[in-house]
Amino acid sequence: MKNSLLQTTIVGSLPKPAWLAEPKKLWAPWLLQDEALTEGMQDAVRLVLRDQESAGIDIVGDGEQTRRHFVTTLIENLDGVDFANKKTVRIRNRYDADVPMVVGPVARTRPVFAEHAKFLRSATDRPVKFTLPGPMTMVDTLYDGYYKSREKLAREFAKVLNAEARELEALGINVIQFDEPAFNVFMDEVRDWGIETLEAAAAGLKCKTAVHICYGYGIKANNDWKKTLGSEWRQYESTFPLLAKSKIDQVSLECANSHVPLELVELLRGKDIMVGAIDVASDEIETPEQVAKILRAALKYVAPEKLYPCTNCGMVPLAREVARGKLKALGAGAALVRKELAGG
């Protein structure tokens, strides 16, 4: 059954089965190798697709079952980056991580996600979304010992992303989403070159393009950071007017249990809005009514055909049964509001 209004979707990641990678852990290493790993990833994709379909999610994804991390899995496949000698850097001004180092010109010499995208396309009849990191967030996950300029490196990454995205589109992917959590931290850079490099990454695509901007997973460094943001989170206020003028079709934002004033959505007039109605930083499973409440509130600022009920962020750090419960709540909450919109 195809829903024309309030098409539900998820931001990206879902928990992996315990036989594929250690649960409730970010960057968890694979527990399988070689062909067994490929088969395991595909089995995991089939499982998350069925979970999404049975929960009533309309635009589905692979739950990032085929990557260890939303940024580094792409970078690992590029030339010019040294993974053997890691450097410690501060990520999004928040926490230290050992990251790979840019040592020469970055280049994509082979397809990265094509095989995974092909499999995803073949495994479901629903519209499919594929996620890629955005250029600024990629820059912020590396030590740059070569370009010595975040902007220059971002422009190079945009070229890499565009080549990858065009290939994904040709394989039948319906929505390509760039994840840019860094857009909530480096607002001056967003204005100076962030929007431009994001648009360069999406240049020439005819499928739907999206950007996801969030306040991160429920890890301690993020929770501590959120405590410093005050009673109203207005980071989107400077970025949304710029995105409204951009060529990006859809914007995903965090609304469930966040301190984002919903009226900021109005700054995105004309865009599709993916309203985060599921909190990924809590194990508590929302009720359909809680989801519906957020969607009704968002409908004051966005037309129903432009509202896409969604999660706040990826659900990889959660237990599988919690994530499944949250998917069901999202589907059921959207169904409630759809019924109201249909007049009963």
Task: Looking at residues 3 to 42 of the shown chain, list those that interact with Zn ion (rule: CB under 5 A).
Answer: none
When the beta carbons of 42 and 239 are compared against Zn ion, the nearer one is: 239
The site that binds Zn ion (CB under 5 A) totals a number of residues, namely: 2
Q: Of 134 and 331, which CB lies nearer to Zn ion in the complex structure?
A: 134
Total residues belonging to the chain = 344
Residue nearer to Zn ion on the CB measure, 106 or 176: 176
Adjacent-strand bridge partners of 131: 177
209 with 202: CB under 8 angstroms? yes
Using CA atoms, how far apart are residues 116 and 136, in angstroms rounded to an integer? 24
Closer by beta carbon to Zn ion, 165 or else 214: 214
Residue (147 or 178) nearer to Zn ion, CB? 178
Nearer to Zn ion, 69 or 152 (CB): 69
Measured from the CB atom, is 102 or 210 closer to Zn ion? 210
Query: What CA–CA distance (Å, rounded) separates 15 from 34?
Result: 21
Report 101-160 residues binding Zn ion (CB under 5 A): none
CB atoms within 10 A of CB 166: 17
The span of 22-30, 147-155, 212-220, 319-327 binding Zn ion (CB under 5 A) equals: 212-220
Is the separation of the CB atoms in 124 and 114 below 8 Å? no
Amino acid at 293: K
As measured in angstroms, the least distance from the Cβ of 70 to Zn ion is: 8
Segment 233 to 292, residues that bind Zn ion, using CB under 5 A: none
Q: Which is nearer to Zn ion, 69 or 87 (CB)?
A: 69
Minimum distance, C-beta of residue 196 to Zn ion, in the bound complex (Å): 22
Minimum Å distance from CB 26 to Zn ion? 12
Query: At residue 334, what are phi and psi to the nearest 5 degrees?
Result: -65, -40
Residue 97 vs 103, nearer CB to Zn ion: 97
Shortest distance, CB of residue 209 to Zn ion, whole angstroms? 17
- Among 214, 267, 307, 334, the residue binding Zn ion under the rule CB under 5 A is 214
CA-to-CA distance for 62 and 128, rounded, in angstroms? 8
Contact segment (CB under 5 A) with Zn ion among 18-26, 209-217, 256-264, 331-339 equals 209-217
Shortest distance, position 310 Cβ to Zn ion, whole Å = 11
How is residue 222 written in tokens? 């993020």
Choices 32-40, 97-105, 146-154, 208-216; region in contact with Zn ion by CB under 5 A: 208-216
Nearest to 312 by CA among 336, 280, 285: 280
Min separation Cβ 145 and Zn ion, Å: 28
What number of other Cβ atoms are within 10 A of residue 121's Cβ?
Answer: 17
Closest separation between CB of residue 219 and Zn ion, Å?
Answer: 12
Of 123, 83, 110, which Cα lies nearest the Cα of 99? 83
Give yes or no for a contact between 175 and 166, defined as CB atoms under 8 angstroms apart: no
Minimum separation from the CB atom of position 208 to Zn ion (A): 18
User: Could you tell me the CA-to-CA distances from 324 to 63, 65, 67, 120, 128 in Å, in that order?
Assistant: 12, 15, 20, 19, 19
Sheet holding 143-144, edge to edge: 79-91, 95-107, 143-144
**Cβ proximity of 190 and 181 under 8 Å:** no
| Interface stretch with Zn ion, choices 55-63, 125-133, 141-149, 213-221 (CB under 5 A) | 213-221
Least separation in angstroms between residue 10's CB and Zn ion is 11
The closest alpha carbon to 259, from 295, 243, 235, 289, belongs to 235
Pick the stretch among 14-22, 71-79, 170-178, 207-215 that binds Zn ion (CB under 5 A): 207-215
| CB proximity list for 166: less than 8 A, separation 6 or greater | 204, 205
Q: Interface residues for Zn ion in 291-330 (CB under 5 A)?
A: 313
Residues at the site binding Zn ion, with contacts judged by CB under 5 A: 214, 313
